[in-house]
Structure 1
């Protein structure tokens, strides 16, 4: 890595959001939020977009048999599979409460099962869940149903059952193939398991298979990352998430204290892992899509990026946009475009709210006019590496201050400033979070007293 690249990392490697939303969760103004307001905004957005776009559903299935120490998701570690059925009944009740609010039958464009470990649940219970969801909805044309599968416990029966329900995309959490790294993150997972589940998915007919790879894990070095990518290239998944491990033990507690801070790769090494890994991926026909994502040309994610229709929300990047995303299950976040709402994080509280026939939302945020404008800019930068304020609906009073802040990044060749636009350069793509931070007016007005974000590089 060149001396200039090192100096850029030292300069810009600061704590910052990953921008799955704007405003980011720490800046939600909950005092202006209520369940009644959430329902009102959701109904308005649903009526505007259900017929034209459909809606997205994210269903959080939180159970895991063991704790992976790299994970930042809300999960409940248990080996008690008798918890599956009560949880499914709770999610279906939550969905019924939402359908009462929406009145008209939803047109479902996307479903994503996340976790936790969705394949903790049996194929029969997953079938019961999805059939229950679809019994109250229509399925939109060109829909995309996807789920996250753990290579160690995803069976052919899981894959077949979900395929029969319309699922065509599966994402496998790989992380790293080095055994020392796997032991540190408590995720022992041989290549042969990943190879088997990838092969099964192809044989059954899944059209998009994704692998999640992580760099910056404890004890990981450059050779580990390159070995993992070489193994991945043997299987050629249709798309990849290749992202930075977020080391935030002050938030996640003991789960990220199974190793020392000194065991985690730092600035230069971490960035070298990404840059050299990226070279290997590009050499094998992958294209960089948005932040930390790569896809083959045949994949819908690549086509969406080329057409400028790539979207980003709490599910990450998606190949199509819906204005309404409803999150079901423990800790799930919903998005009506005009407001956000998050469910109870403790399973006891989640169940208790449903027992009272209430949608189990406990906090949220109603977006201001300013929020909506800034959100559009950050989405543009995250999804297309470009944004413009030539149109009046994209302008805001502080835009000159934002441009002034970006001139230094232009001098560092991370972006090109037009008269009323920004284009992120190839050199600047690794710094997209930093560029978005220049637009983050809420972050500028109130810098957190305590560190709450992971490092940007």
Structure 2
């Protein structure tokens, strides 16, 4: 008899958005519609809650074979300044559509490797973004750091312009795993950069770990978690490895699939890690995240203000998120827009005075309702349709699809709500899929998504 893990471990979206990117309707999308969507959202939300900025810094000196991000591999650091100049020009293009000074609540520097850039370039970027902007009273600025090239000077420079949170990509400490994923870094180096951040004054240090990597075992996961315990980061992302080698540009061919833990074996690694983290004092947040009670992510969970967007889980909700840089995705709540995916094309379009969007989606009324339900499930493990504006035409179909999940005692369905049981968290993506009408109407004919568990 199949286990629940084997039964529900199928390809499915991670739901950092709804509709998910493969189901965007690009035939009805235009850059003009996106700009109108952006202007409306800015008008509605800027003074009320502020806006978020995601900045994609794509350069890496070497390729990590677990990574599915859009990146540009180079050791030539002369690329830094032209790219920063282009980012600031793109920001100017957006500012031209703003009728007042932007109130910035959240900035996140992602990649790629943000710490590829020199301190002076990072400060130039931040000073340019903030020059004619207003910092929200509850602003939170964060960045992703590579332990091997994050310097104390970079940490200090970003702290001086308002950064208080840093996330280090650790992944795993086992030498065989590190060799397979081409990400070799010592515990001592992670310890050093973690201590630097705290010494400078960062209030939230995060470590990113991954389960399901090649050659991982119960012993290696235990060793990684025990080493993490020694440093006690404020929050931890404990991601499921998403094996998507069919995606163009993803370098996930550096090992054989036979070396990857499968199904129940893979999930056992997560459950072991979860138990170890819980014993240390971490609390599970949403899907694949953990935080100490002192961290803002835990507080957001307790106060039911946890939010999820293309950056993952965040304690700071904004209606409008502007993505700057190659491949960045923007979200106005009413629409999504993605930038072109190569540095050369990105810089060329911005130099021509064009917002470098190449595809997107404008949400219809049904999309907006379903988006709320999926957000509720991903963040709060429940959703309801007690109000008429929370209903959608095919809700009965969603409930029919959920009947088997309910029969497996993973959710409780009432007349006007569903509640996800605590033991059902591994299946949260499957539950969301029942609400995903675009997916249900047209199942993918080719490989699109990683496995759900």
Q: TM-score, normalised by structure 2?
A: 0.99
Cα distance in 1 for partners of 2:367, 2:354 equals 28
Instruction: Note if 1:66 corresponds to 2:62.
Output: yes
Query: Deviation per CA, 1:203-241, whole angstroms, max 9, x where unpaired?
Result: 111000100000000111111111111110111100010
Query: Deviation per CA, 1:374-402, whole angstroms, max 9, x where unpaired?
Result: 10000000000110111111101211121
Note the C-alpha offset of 1:252.
4.5
- Aligned match of 1:422: 418
- Aligned match of 1:47: 43
CA contact (8 A) 2:68 2:251 kept: no
- Aligned match of 2:329: 333
Alignment of 1:119-268 (within 5 A): 119-252=115-248, 255-268=251-264
- Aligned match of 1:11: 7
Query: Deviation per CA, 1:326-364, whole angstroms, max 9, x where unpaired?
Result: 000000000000000000101111111112101101110
Superposed CA RMSD in Å reads 0.9
Name stretches of at least 5 consecutive residues in structure 1 with no aligned partner: none
CA contact (8 A) 2:244 2:250 kept: no
Note the C-alpha offset of 1:111.
0.2
SS of residue in 2 equivalent to 1:294: strand
Distance 1:253 1:105, change over 3 A: closer
Name stretches of at least 5 consecutive residues in structure 2 with no aligned partner: none
SS of residue in 2 equivalent to 1:131: helix
- Aligned match of 2:344: 348
CA contact (8 A) 1:343 1:360 kept: yes
Note the C-alpha offset of 1:253.
5.4
CA contact (8 A) 2:366 2:392 kept: yes
Cα distance in 2 for partners of 1:353, 1:136 equals 24
Q: 1:392 is matched with which residue: 371, 388, 405?
A: 388
Cα distance in 2 for partners of 1:253, 1:146 equals 27
Note the C-alpha offset of 1:13.
0.4
Note the C-alpha offset of 1:254.
6.5
Cα distance in 1 for partners of 2:196, 2:300 equals 26
Cα distance in 1 for partners of 2:409, 2:185 equals 40
Cα distance in 1 for partners of 2:41, 2:158 equals 29
Matched residues, number: 453
Cα distance in 2 for partners of 1:154, 1:267 equals 35
Cα distance in 2 for partners of 1:269, 1:222 equals 9
Misfit runs of 4+, over 4 Å:
none
SS of residue in 2 equivalent to 1:93: helix
